[in-house]
């Protein structure tokens, strides 16, 4: 029989041959690297049989899907080790997560991280045994009987939630059997590098009314060297922790009086306002207008927008004059009302409407983290109302802005196209048109992307930008969402060239995403060592003697008058102490001034990360800092 490979080549194999047998016909090297296969786009085990006309792609650890299979198998090895060491424990679920996996387990006697050594040793024995991993299926009643026989109560509950006619898959390795959809590695011996990393509590099925289980987290990589690099990155991340640096640099505070609601301090406000000033400058250049809509609006508005049905559990509500209101979790419904205030012609479009809107979303207390996960934040929102024929060009314009911003901060990024989720509104035709429009724009930009099935917004597909910081971590920030639904729900109109009324198309987009979260990312990206244009204090003037204090104050005043941010350290402290404190504050430039500098009208310059760079005419130094500030230079 014939099958089609990823590159379009046709391969002839024996009737009923497995994906692995097909790989053997291609190359021995591919067989050694193979961990799974994709048959007609579906991820399956290498042992899966093929049929005439199938398309086949062999998956290796170079692909994310392959690494996920590898890590999922590692979760099963963990489960087998736990059942060997703690036979009375009961297994719940063990999915793959970013950079690793976890397993939720119900132990009779609690375990701690001190137990990890013996668990890892047992896992190594299982891996060394190179146990074949095989899949088998059972009808629902037999699957229930099997799991009841093993006293796996949580697996029984999962099966009971499945349809009566479901065919349920299991995976067996040695004497261990687990309920699982798969796929998995062909044997345990393919695992080369793993580590258990932490332990936490987790409610069964995320329900606070159900039992608290023990969640054991682990990580796994194709090579030990890659795992070592990962742990080195984690150590570096600890040094860059924005919650610690934010406190040290007096940028923001997290107080019990406002859990999830950050307090911005003077230095933090300088940083935040500098980002906002840059945002406004960029958007004025790109033809955006700015609006501001209310933070609290009526329930009927949120019902009309669809948020009440799809998002109300994350919204804060109140009553005003006996009527239900909600604190806005998004800015878009307010933008709809602004558009409707005036009649529009096709000649007016596109209208690019920006809003730096403060939004509130109810996050569970256990999910809060510094500025990365908060309950209120400023979204650098914009809504673009346009004609159908303007879609591609407007998306390209937004991509150009996002690329310019991320490049300025030194971020690389990759792009994902997220498609229709299960909980969505609108017709199949609208969703298909919207998704195709986004694909067309990305293709015309020659911008590589991966498809993230089912992760779109409830009202439309989206393009997500995942930026990479200087230590290799990725963060989802920018997004472009194409929306055919909300203009219909709010009955937005424009008069077309034919004199008839038509419905505009709409783009929702953010660049920073959340300004608060973006600040957290910047703190960690730069390790608090902001470029001059972002630094709350750009220059610290350090007089050596009391006689030089007036000169230090004069220099500071001159720089502040130029729009720079300078401070003089007039404390009765030794110079070494002043320099050390300025280093802790991560000030880009320190100016040491004494009698000699007073007499010559010069400054002795120390540059962050470089040290003493010598004397300069003060006007030359001012020009240097002004240039770095105005041109947003990163050193």
What amino acid positions are annotated as catalytic residues?
332, 361, 379, 381, 383, 462, 508
Q: b/e string for 263-277 if b means 16 or more Cβ within 10 A? A: ebbebbebbbebbee
Plot region of 556 (φ>0 → left; ψ -120 to 50 → alpha; else → beta): alpha
Q: Name the packing angle between helices 428-444 and 391-408 (round to 10°).
A: 50
Q: Are 24 and 74 in contact (CB under 8 A)?
A: no
Owner of token pair 């290498």: 46
Q: Name the packing angle between helices 391-408 and 266-285 (round to 10°).
A: 140
Q: Which residue pairs, CB below 8 angstroms and at least 24 apart, start in 401-407? A: 401/282, 401/286, 401/511, 402/465, 402/478, 402/511, 404/282, 405/282, 405/478, 405/511, 405/512, 406/465, 406/467, 406/478
Q: Are 173 and 79 in contact (CB under 8 A)?
A: no
Half-sphere exposure of 118 (CA within 13 A, CB side): 9
Walk across the sheet containing 2-5 and list its strands: 10-12, 2-5, 55-60, 34-39, 42-44
How far is residue 315's CA from residue 318's CA, in Å, rounded to a whole number?
A: 10
Half-sphere exposure of 542 (CA within 13 A, CB side): 21
How far is residue 607's CA from residue 618's CA, in Å, rounded to a whole number?
A: 15
Half-sphere exposure of 51 (CA within 13 A, CB side): 1
């Amino acid at each position: 029989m014939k099958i089609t490979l990823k590159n379009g080549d046709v391969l002839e194999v024996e009737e009923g041959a497995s994906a692995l047998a097909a790989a053997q016909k291609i190359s021995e090297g591919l067989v050694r690297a193979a961990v799974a296969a994709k048959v007609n786009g579906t991820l399956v085990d290498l042992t899966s049989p093929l049929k005439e006309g199938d398309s086949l792609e062999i998956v290796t650890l170079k692909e994310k899907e392959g690494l996920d299979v590898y890590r999922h198998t590692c979760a099963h090895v963990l489960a087998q080790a736990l059942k060997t060491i703690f036979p009375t424990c009961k297994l719940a679920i063990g999915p793959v997560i970013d950079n690793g996996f976890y397993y939720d387990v119900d132990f009779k006697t609690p375990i701690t991280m001190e137990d990890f050594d013996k668990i890892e040793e047992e896992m190594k024995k299982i891996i060394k045994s190179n146990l074949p991993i095989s899949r088998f299926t059972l009808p629902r009643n037999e699957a229930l009987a099997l799991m009841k026989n093993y006293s796996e109560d949580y697996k029984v509950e999962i099966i009971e939630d499945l349809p009566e006619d479901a065919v349920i898959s299991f995976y067996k390795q040695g004497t261990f059997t687990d309920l699982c959809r798969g796929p998995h590695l062909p044997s345990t011996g393919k695992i080369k590098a793993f580590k258990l990393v932490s332990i936490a509590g987790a409610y069964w099925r995320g329900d606070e009314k159900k039992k608290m289980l023990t969640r054991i987290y682990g990580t796994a990589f194709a090579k030990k060297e890659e795992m070592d690099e990962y742990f080195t990155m984690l150590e570096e991340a600890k040094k860059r922790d924005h919650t610690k640096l934010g406190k040290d640099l007096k940028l923001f505070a997290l107080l019990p009086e406002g859990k999830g609601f950050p307090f911005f301090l003077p230095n933090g406000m300088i940083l935040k306002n500098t980002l906002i000033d840059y945002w406004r400058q960029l958007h004025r250049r790109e033809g955006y207008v700015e609006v501001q809509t209310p933070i609290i609006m009526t329930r009927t508005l949120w019902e009309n927008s669809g948020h009440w049905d799809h998002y109300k559990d994350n919204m804060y509500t109140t009553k005003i004059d006996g009527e239900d209101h909600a604190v806005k979790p998004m800015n878009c419904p307010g933008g709809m009302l602004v558009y409707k205030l005036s009649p529009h012609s096709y000649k007016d479009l596109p209208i690019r409407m920006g809003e730096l809107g403060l939004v509130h979303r109810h996050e569970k207390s256990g999910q809060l983290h510094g500025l990365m996960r908060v309950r209120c934040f400023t979204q650098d929102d914009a809504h673009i109302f346009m004609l159908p024929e303007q879609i591609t060009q407007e998306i390209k314009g937004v991509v150009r802005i996002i690329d310019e911003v991320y490049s300025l901060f030194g971020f690389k990024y990759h792009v994902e196209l997220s498609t229709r989720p299960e909980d969505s509104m609108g017709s199949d035709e609208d969703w298909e048109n919207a998704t195709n429009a986004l694909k067309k724009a990305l293709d015309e930009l020659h911008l590589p992307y991966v498809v993230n099935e089912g992760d779109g917004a409830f009202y439309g597909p989206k393009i997500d930008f995942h930026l990479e910081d200087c230590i290799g971590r990725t963060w989802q920030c920018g997004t472009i969402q194409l929306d055919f639904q909300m203009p219909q729900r709010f009955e937005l109109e424009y008069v077309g060239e034919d004199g008839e009324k038509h419905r505009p198309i709409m783009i929702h987009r953010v660049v920073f995403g959340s300004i608060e979260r973006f600040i957290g990312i910047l703190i960690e990206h730069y390790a608090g060592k902001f470029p001059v244009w972002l630094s709350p204090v750009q220059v610290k003037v350090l007089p050596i003697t009391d006689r030089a204090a007036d000169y230090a104050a004069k220099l500071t005043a001159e720089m502040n008058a130029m729009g720079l941010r300078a401070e003089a350290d007039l404390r009765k402290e030794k110079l070494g102490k002043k320099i050390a404190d300025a280093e802790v504050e991560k000030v880009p430039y320190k100016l040491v001034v004494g009698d000699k500098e007073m007499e010559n009208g010069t400054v002795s310059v120390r540059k962050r990360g470089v040290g003493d760079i010598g004397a300069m005419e003060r006007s030359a130094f001012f020009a240097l800092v002004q240039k770095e500030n105005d041109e947003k230079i990163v050193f």
